[in-house]
Amino acid sequence: MSFGDPNNPYGQQGQPQQPGYGYPQQGQPQQPGYGYPAAPPPPAYGAGYPGGAPMTMPGLMQTARVLLFIVAGLQIIFGIIFAFVIAAAQDVSDSVGAGDATDGLAGLGFIVVLILIAFAVWAIVLGAKFSKGGNGVRVTTIVYSALFILMSLSNFTQGTTSAAIGGIIGLAIGGIILASMVNSSATAWFNRPRY
């Protein structure tokens, strides 16, 4: 007759456990840890910030920011090109003796160049302020994009295909920038608490 495994703590069914056999009645002793002690658990996400984790800039706003920098770069490039073209045209006009008649036109051209450069600087400042700026940056970007859209619409009055293509591209860029500033995520981003 078999009495089962003597090391079985539960013993055979129906038979009482004999003292001294099987595992001790108290729990197994803990073995000491090996290597370095366990690291403390990582802090909860957003710990250290009173309102939770810091916000990340929404994707559409990041796109608008990149577009502002691209537009600024293009405005600077076109402004420099227009300045050289106007200066060269004025030199040609002076050499044929019609310089006095074209001075006003050249002056108007340089005013357009200054406007382009001013808009470029404005776009760079707005793009740079997206990460830390408040609601004023959002409102100013809305004004900038509205003026950019109006200038893009003026391309359609020139009647050339290249001006119309430039107007379409300008409308798309201005529309994206404007749409990114008037949605709720932009309002939340620019009204967020700053620490």
Amino acid at 147: L
Q: What are phi and psi of 90, to 5 degrees?
A: -70, -35
Domains of the chain, by residue range, sit at 59-190
65-101 confidence digits (pLDDT tens): 999 999 999 999 999 999 999 888 888 887 777 667 6
- The pLDDT value given to residue 71: 93
Cα 110 to chain centroid, rounded: 34
Percentage of the chain modeled with pLDDT above 70 = 69
Percentage of the chain modeled with pLDDT above 90 = 35
pTM of the complete model? 0.66
Under 8 Å between Cβ of 93 and 102:
yes
124-164 confidence digits (pLDDT tens): 999 999 888 888 999 999 999 999 999 889 888 887 888 88
Q: Quick one: the chain helix, strand, coil %, rounded to 5?
A: 60, 0, 40
The whole-angstrom separation of Cα 128 and Cα 135 is 14
What's the burial of 177, exposed, middle or buried (CB within 10 Å: 0-12/13-18/19+)? buried
Q: Give me the numbers of helices (H) and strands (E) for the chain, helices first please.
A: 5, 0
* Higher pLDDT among residues 52 and 84, named by residue: 84
Examine the pLDDT at 104 and tell me if it is beyond 90: no
Examine the pLDDT at 31 and tell me if it is beyond 90: no
The whole-angstrom separation of Cα 91 and Cα 97 is 10
**CB-based contacts of 158: which residues, under 8 Å, 6+ apart?**
164
* Higher pLDDT among residues 9 and 165, named by residue: 165
The whole-angstrom separation of Cα 2 and Cα 12 is 10
Task: Return the C-alpha torsion angle 151, 153, 157, 161, nearest 10.
Answer: 100
Rg, Å, the chain Cα set: 37
